[in-house]
Amino acid sequence: MDIRQLSYFLAVVEEGLVTKAAERLHITQSPLSQQMITLEKEMGVKLFQRTKKHIGLTSAGQVLKRRAEQILDMAHSTVNEVRETGEGICGKLTIGIIHSSGRLLLPERIQTFHEQYPRVSFDLRQGDPAHILELMRLRLVDLGFVRLPVDTELYEQIPIPTEAIVMLMRPSYMKDTEAQMSLLEVGDAPLLLHRRYERLVREYFEAHQRTPNVLCVSDELIPLLTWADCGLGVAVVPQFASHFVMDDLCVKQLSEPVLSTSSTLIWRKGDDLSMAATHFIELFREEEMMKKKDLGQGKAALMTKA
């Protein structure tokens, strides 16, 4: 018994006559009749109740009809699912993201991608850059977001534009209404630092013969933002984090020292990526190109005014 026999069987059942079923299937009556006889022999039971005007089913035939419909539906669904997965229309995309910043950078991209490919699901793996690179090496993730630099001999990449580091604070810590402040102007206010920038901040204070009042150092941004919102200190974080803070927090550009952070989307060179991963890379590349274009137009406009 195979898929073709089952489809022939259902055609005969639905049409009620071999001649009509043969016309529907675009084959001659004789081989169709032979297929039904062979099917009964393979089953070892009588499937049809035949008359000159109609072909009905025995109780065994009714069972086969029900199962045949289920099997053919499953076969069609399988073919569609395999085809759609191959085309990147459905499936699962596994992405490795660095702590905090990676999680906050993704939502707008995921939203755009989900609108275009609503049947693709996501599996996010978090960790520090070293952990994400290990997941990439073991092929446990399709794509990864890590800090620059990366080994360009092993990975293809799309760099994410550099993000400035800012200070987030309650109004009580503000010395003035200027949009920018240096770390020295913060005075003795408690500092809430992401670990990535701790060394640079301490070196800046040491260069000015000062000792920073560091209240907290964290690998995660969320505790720093929460503590700043509670008024415990001044958070020194990437600018994108300002989109996820309470209204009571003020954003101050960091005039000194000038700090920034850079990330990149990576994937393994020479690997056969899934179509879902390929579509995500294409979308990401298009959005980055648009951002660079807008930035270039903005700079040109400023130069023209000047």
What is the rounded distance in angstroms from the CA atom of residue 231 to the CA atom of residue 169? 7
**SS3 labels along 18-43:** HHHHHHHHCCCHHHHHHHHHHHHHHH
Whether the predicted pLDDT of 266 surpasses 90: yes
Q: What pLDDT score does 299 carry?
A: 47
Whether the predicted pLDDT of 296 surpasses 70: no
Whether the predicted pLDDT of 261 surpasses 70: yes
- Residue pLDDT, tens place only, 162-221: 778 888 988 887 766 677 888 888 888 999 998 888 998 999 999 999 999 999 999 888
Mean per-residue pLDDT, 87-108: 72
- DSSP string across 253-296: EEEES--EEEEEEEEETT----HHHHHHHHHHHHHHHHHHHHHH
Better-predicted residue by pLDDT, 297 or 8: 8
Residue 280 token pair: 């995500």
Percent of the chain topping pLDDT 70? 86
Q: What pLDDT score does 99 carry?
A: 65
Residue 163 token pair: 């993000």
Average pLDDT, the chain: 83
The pTM assigned to this predicted structure is: 0.58
What is the rounded distance in angstroms from the CA atom of residue 61 to the CA atom of residue 277? 46
Whether the predicted pLDDT of 222 surpasses 60: yes
Q: What pLDDT score does 11 carry?
A: 92
Whether the predicted pLDDT of 235 surpasses 80: yes
Residue 57's region, left for phi above 0, alpha for psi from -120 to 50, else beta, is beta
Whether the predicted pLDDT of 234 surpasses 70: yes
- Residue pLDDT, tens place only, 110-150: 888 899 888 889 988 888 888 899 999 988 899 998 887 88
Whether the predicted pLDDT of 94 surpasses 80: yes
Domains present along the chain, CATH in parentheses: 3-86 (1.10.10.10), 90-161+262-305 (3.40.190.10), 163-261 (3.40.190.10)
Better-predicted residue by pLDDT, 78 or 258: 258
Q: What pLDDT score does 290 carry?
A: 66
CA distances from 257 to 101, 128, 147, 197, 204 (A): 21, 25, 20, 11, 7
Q: What pLDDT score does 102 carry?
A: 53
Q: What pLDDT score does 22 carry?
A: 92
Per-residue pLDDT band at 302 (split at 50, 70, 90): very low
Whether the predicted pLDDT of 242 surpasses 90: no
Residue 44 token pair: 């070892």
Percent of the chain topping pLDDT 90? 30
